[in-house]
Amino acid sequence: MLVLTRKPQEEIKIGKDIVVKVISISENSVKIGIEAPKEMVIMRAELYQKVKENNVEATKNVSLNLPENLKDLKVNKLNKRKNERKEKD
């Protein structure tokens, strides 16, 4: 792995389209800004892993059968007003 030392506001260029900038640093975190073409997927690595695991899980035990007790339930629709109320709580 290439390791470079950078100070806040300094940048690293990757290829001709990507710039990674150190915005600020604090005791245990670094704020990083990334400029890249919009078709490039950029995300926190642990989030990618979580989505991947969820996708894999969802493909297991796929069945067309609907559970019997579905009639006692309703779709968990979250309307805007409820959402705002939730944020206040």
Partner 1 sequence: MKIKNQLFGEIEFSEEKIIKFPEGIIGFEEFKKFLLVNSGNPLFLWLVSIDEPELIFPLFGIKALFDDYPTFEDFEPFGIVKLDPDPIKMTINVKAPILINQDRNEGFQKILDDDRYPIDYKLFIEK
Q: In this complex, which beta carbon is closest to partner 1, that of residue 7 or of residue 74?
A: 74
Q: Is 86 helix (H, G, I), strand (E, B) or coil?
A: helix
Site for partner 1 in 41-70 (CB under 8 A): 41, 43, 47-48, 50-59, 61-67, 69-70
Write the CB contacts of 4 (distance below 8 Å, at least 6 apart in sequence). 12
Range 9-28, binding partner 1 (CB under 8 A): none
Taking phi over 0 as left and psi of -120 to 50 as alpha, with beta for the rest, 39 belongs to alpha
Binding site for partner 1 (CB under 8 A): 41, 43, 47-48, 50-59, 61-67, 69-70, 72-80, 83
